[in-house]
Structure 1
Amino acid sequence: MVLLAAAVCTHAGKAILSRQFVEMTRIRIEALLAAFPYLMTIGKQHTFVETDSIRYVYQPLGELLYMVLLTTKNSNILEDLETLRLFSQVIPKYCPVLEKSEISEHCFDLIFAFDEIVALGYREDVTPTQILTFTQMYSREEEEFRTKRRIQEREARAKGIKKARELQQARREAERSGNKMQAFSRTSSTPGSIIADTIVNPRTPKMAPIRPSSGTSSSRPKALKLHSRGKEVEDFVDKLKSEGETIIPAFVMRRGGSDTTTKTNVLLPSGDDECVQLCVKETMSLTCSRDGGLLNMEVLGKVTAQVTENNNRICLIINNNDKKGFELKTHPNIDKKLFTDESVIGLKNPENSFPLNQDVLLLKWRLQTTDKSLIPLTITCWPSEGVSGCDVIMEYELQEESLELNNVVISIPVPTGVAPVISDFDGECEHDRKQNLLMWRLPIIDANNMSGCLEFNINGQPDNFFPVNVSFVSKRNYCNVQVTKVIHVDGDTPVRFSSETSFVVDKYQIL
């Protein structure tokens, strides 16, 4: 037989998908399919219809579609019907719902499958299962290559972290020995002044570097420069700031200007490559009303593990000190009774082992509540209209003392074209003129820095300062669940492991 084309069309003859196996124009195939409905006889069951040169072999797909094969009249009708049956078996494997939208969505998958059935107009000797395998194009060699590359990247990342720590330790030793030059100096500024569109409170112990205001002589020593291009970069950055651009440095000095640096919104792994690598990740979505009520709070967390050694028959000892009412669930392959009775994560069959070099989800938890006592960080806004504009006081308070929040950014909307006059603040304040936001940045909020405030005056109405958005990252999770130990199933021998914990904000909004 010579198969000209295979198509899926509507009852009106409109083509949804068509694959031509011989040279045919689009206009020609559309004209043939448009004539197909007029050739059918109503009230009779047919499997094919013919014209002077074309034979249509068809079968209904669902209620609104047809699977149609276009062949020559001298083809074998029995082979045509067998080929049609194979096409009809393959389509549901890619489109469980036989509808127009579903066919369009998986059109390329179906075309690849059609090419496995017919080549140059002649049918191939294949089964639906073989077609599905061929189109998936699974390669064991490719999978092994990707696994090897992931291991190499992980090893390179661990070496980089180790080298960074060595350099950091060397800088500390150099500073203690008095060989390190002082790069930054502090200058005090009067309350409410704006320095290069970025304001830093001198009384705050944890803050970003301060640039002296224009017109004031600076007594700070100059740091060593390799060439004069550094001065050009500084001048260019100052010009951008004067034009209202927001410049966020890649690294920000922490803890009073010491050499301890932390990259923005990035939590480094807690250790080098170990036999077992654990990842504890939590995300929070929170919406509060401006009067302090909690509209909704949802916290999602999970623990994943990756085993990198062959002896991977292990158990994880969990320390569960949760008192907030989290709902914990283990993976279906984990022994739920063992976890409930002994707080141990192990496989249902102790003889089985964890997959090698693959991220495996072990445990997840969820909390959804409207109890405002569970809010980790409360933000309160006190706007009041006065004679010279609107006086606004923003306050924050850490309610969960065990948390340490890093890189906290509180974004406050302000009216367009009006600059706020800031009188008092903790941390760092910055007016983003393009986005009309007042960015209140706090490097760290913990048990030693649990509360703070920001006061400013601006022309506007109380409703102009909402919604307030908050973002932060933390290396401590909100749900007090930790992996304390990893052991082998046989003999309770300890296994070296590393753990990376992150607690981030998906949405934190005060409406």
Structure 2
Amino acid sequence: MVVLAASIVSKHGKVLVSRQFANISRVRIEGLLAAFPKLIVGEKQHTYVEAENVRYVYQPLESLYILLVTNKQSNILEDLETLRLFSKIIPEFCPTLEEEAISSEAFELIFAIDELISMGHKENVTIAQVKQYLEMESHEEKLHKLVLQSKIDEAKDVMMRKASAIDKNKMEKLRSENMNYVPMSSNGSGRYGNGFQDVKSLGNGSSDGGLFGSLDSMVPPKPSARGSTPLSTPSNGGMKLGKGKGTKQLLESLKAEGEVILEDVQTIPAPARAINIPTEPISVSIEEKLIVTLKKDGGLENFELQGTMTLIVQDNEHAQICVQVETGPNEKVQLNTHPRIDKDRFLKEKILALKNVGASFPVGTPLAVLKWRLQSRDESLVPLNINCWPSVSRNECLVNIEYEASRAFELKNVVVSIPLPALRDAPIVNQVDGDWRYDSRKSFLEWNILLIDNSNRNGSMEFVVPTSDPSSFFPIGVKFSASKFFCNVKLVGVYDSHTGDSPRHSSDTQLVVDSYQVV
């Protein structure tokens, strides 16, 4: 079939959403859509109506018409199937089939139409696949948000520095004015020469004559390095803000509750935030996500792996490319290409290229060109096993927790989060391979191992808490990352579809944890 346009039109002829596919003028398409309401006769539930050169295939949907404008040589059965899918997609985005709701979701509906129809031809996709493609994460959007947040933080820092400088200038000016204003007393009485008022109204309200304290007590103190006014320290007696015994106990108490205490009050400039912004015209990202559930008594309950290869083309000059990959012996892995990718060529040559000759990849928009999935009950695939052994006695509970890592991976930034019952004080950690931190607000004990490699494939931690129910230490959560993949999907190269040249490109690979628990 050849679809010229797909539209949503109100029954009084207003075009709410329209997507053009044919290489004809916009005025021509608008004329065809404007003529459609005049061709509808009566209230019969028509399927299509033919004009002089085109066929209108439509379906009433409450107060709207879902419309496909095709040529007369188009297959009417395929047109009806496309129309049926189109009608099912609309309720997924619009809670009510009213003009206002349709118009507010116009962009999402146009994107959905693009997934259904490509170059005027129907794509072999389902409703679930269309929703999945539209809900995919946008790396470009994440980068934009990071850059925007970095600019906001930088602007706030500049604003705070300028505000601090303005306050400092004001204080200096006020100090200078007060020094010129206050005269010196010649007789020590509460009155000053030349008719000035008693300065006790400027001091602390005492009834004795003369100046009260030093001149500095009448001038607001200078702002500190953090822009706030420091507490004045009395010369004799009173409260002193320092590092005395009481302050030390308070700081220790806050540390035990998981608070971060800054010992040095000097302002330290924050390091520049590193943002990985693509600098090459083509970027390829390969990511695998793990979803693992282990049983606390031993064994594997669930193991699922989801992998995605995402392509980002930055300019039109490099939009017509093909990607050479290597998949390796992945017998149990289900590999799926994007509907616009030539699947036969991928199966034969391991090349990811568009079906339509001369078509281009979308510019500036991430496209998941290849996905794979692995589900298994094989315990040997688990990269990190966690065993927890609570032993309850009369007054306390001794908890031993250990890990055993597979030799197939080097795991980075490993964090094991153990839930604890509500505690008054931090748990007593007798032994730990790595570091630990207690979060009193969330009541979690975090066990941190920076790197697990061949030197520390096994490790353990032992801590003591008051008597507790052994089930209160579950579920245990695990987070880590790795540079090696389960599935041998690799990027071999990127080539221009016409010249065969290899343009500049960058690649990023990582294995991350989506959900990893011991329950």
- For residues 224-269 of structure 1, the C-alpha deviation after alignment (integer angstroms, 9 at most, x for no partner) is xx958899999999478346144499xxxxxxxxxxx998xx9x64
Would the alpha carbon gap of residues 430 and 481 (structure 1) be closer, same or farther in structure 2, given more than 3 Å must change?
same
1:404–1:447: 8 Å Cα contact kept in structure 2?
Answer: no
Partner Cα distance (1:379, 1:401) in 2: 17
Would the alpha carbon gap of residues 401 and 490 (structure 1) be closer, same or farther in structure 2, given more than 3 Å must change?
same
Q: Does the alignment pair 1:331 with 2:338? A: yes
Within-5 A mapping of 1:123-202: 136=106
1:398–1:450: 8 Å Cα contact kept in structure 2?
Answer: yes
Would the alpha carbon gap of residues 137 and 469 (structure 1) be closer, same or farther in structure 2, given more than 3 Å must change?
closer
- Identify the match of residue 390 of structure 1 among 397, 411, 417: 397
Partner Cα distance (2:470, 2:380) in 1: 26
Would the alpha carbon gap of residues 465 and 248 (structure 1) be closer, same or farther in structure 2, given more than 3 Å must change?
farther
1:306–1:357: 8 Å Cα contact kept in structure 2?
Answer: yes
Partner of 1:411: 417
Partner Cα distance (1:340, 1:86) in 2: 42
Partner of 1:495: 503
Partner Cα distance (1:104, 1:348) in 2: 29
Shifted more, 319-328 versus 377-386: the winner is 319-328
Would the alpha carbon gap of residues 321 and 450 (structure 1) be closer, same or farther in structure 2, given more than 3 Å must change?
farther
Would the alpha carbon gap of residues 443 and 460 (structure 1) be closer, same or farther in structure 2, given more than 3 Å must change?
same
Partner Cα distance (1:112, 1:273) in 2: 41
Unaligned runs of 5+ in 1: 1-58, 62-84, 114-131, 141-149, 161-225, 250-260
TM-score, normalised to structure 2, is 0.51
Partner of 1:507: 515
Displacement, 1:475? 4.4
Would the alpha carbon gap of residues 377 and 104 (structure 1) be closer, same or farther in structure 2, given more than 3 Å must change?
closer
2:390–2:400: 8 Å Cα contact kept in structure 1?
Answer: yes
Structure 2 residue matching 1:498: 3-state secondary structure: strand
Partner of 1:297: 303
2:325–2:350: 8 Å Cα contact kept in structure 1?
Answer: yes
The amino acid that maps onto 2:411 is E
Partner Cα distance (2:380, 2:454) in 1: 17
Partner of 1:372: 379
Structure 2 residue matching 1:112: 3-state secondary structure: helix
Partner Cα distance (2:242, 2:508) in 1: 36
Displacement, 1:448? 4.0
Partner of 1:112: 100
Q: Does the alignment pair 1:341 with 2:344? A: no
The amino acid that maps onto 2:348 is D
Partner of 2:257: 244
Partner Cα distance (1:289, 1:324) in 2: 27
2:282–2:506: 8 Å Cα contact kept in structure 1?
Answer: yes
Structure 1 residue matching 2:98: 3-state secondary structure: helix
Q: Does the alignment pair 1:315 with 2:322? A: yes
1:416–1:436: 8 Å Cα contact kept in structure 2?
Answer: yes
The amino acid that maps onto 1:136 is A
Would the alpha carbon gap of residues 277 and 154 (structure 1) be closer, same or farther in structure 2, given more than 3 Å must change?
farther
Structure 2 residue matching 1:106: 3-state secondary structure: coil
Partner Cα distance (1:350, 1:503) in 2: 34
Structure 2 residue matching 1:241: 3-state secondary structure: helix
Partner Cα distance (1:103, 1:366) in 2: 26
1:277–1:499: 8 Å Cα contact kept in structure 2?
Answer: yes
TM-score, normalised to structure 1, is 0.52
Displacement, 1:272? 4.6
- What is the alpha-carbon root mean square deviation over aligned residues? 4.7
1:324–1:374: 8 Å Cα contact kept in structure 2?
Answer: no
Partner Cα distance (1:262, 1:369) in 2: 43
Partner of 2:293: 287
Partner Cα distance (1:156, 1:244) in 2: 31
The amino acid that maps onto 2:306 is L
2:60–2:66: 8 Å Cα contact kept in structure 1?
Answer: no
Displacement, 1:413? 2.0
Structure 1 residue matching 2:501: 3-state secondary structure: coil
Structure scoring higher RCO (CA < 8 A, sep ≥ 6) equals 1
Within-5 A mapping of 1:416-435: 416-417=422-423, 419-435=426-442
Partner Cα distance (1:104, 1:311) in 2: 33
1:393–1:456: 8 Å Cα contact kept in structure 2?
Answer: yes
Partner Cα distance (2:408, 2:242) in 1: 41
Structure 1 residue matching 2:355: 3-state secondary structure: coil
Displacement, 1:395? 1.1
Partner Cα distance (2:256, 2:61) in 1: 64
Partner of 1:215: none
Unaligned runs of 5+ in 2: 1-42, 46-58, 68-82, 111-139, 151-223, 231-240, 263-270
2:415–2:449: 8 Å Cα contact kept in structure 1?
Answer: yes
Displacement, 1:486? 0.9
Partner of 1:254: none
Displacement, 1:279? 1.9
Partner of 2:119: none
- For residues 408-432 of structure 1, the C-alpha deviation after alignment (integer angstroms, 9 at most, x for no partner) is 2211122322642211102211222
1:477–1:502: 8 Å Cα contact kept in structure 2?
Answer: yes
- Identify the match of residue 460 of structure 1 among 455, 464, 468: 468
Displacement, 1:440? 1.0
Would the alpha carbon gap of residues 444 and 314 (structure 1) be closer, same or farther in structure 2, given more than 3 Å must change?
same
- For residues 423-463 of structure 1, the C-alpha deviation after alignment (integer angstroms, 9 at most, x for no partner) is 11022112222322211122222344432111122233433
Partner Cα distance (1:95, 1:337) in 2: 28
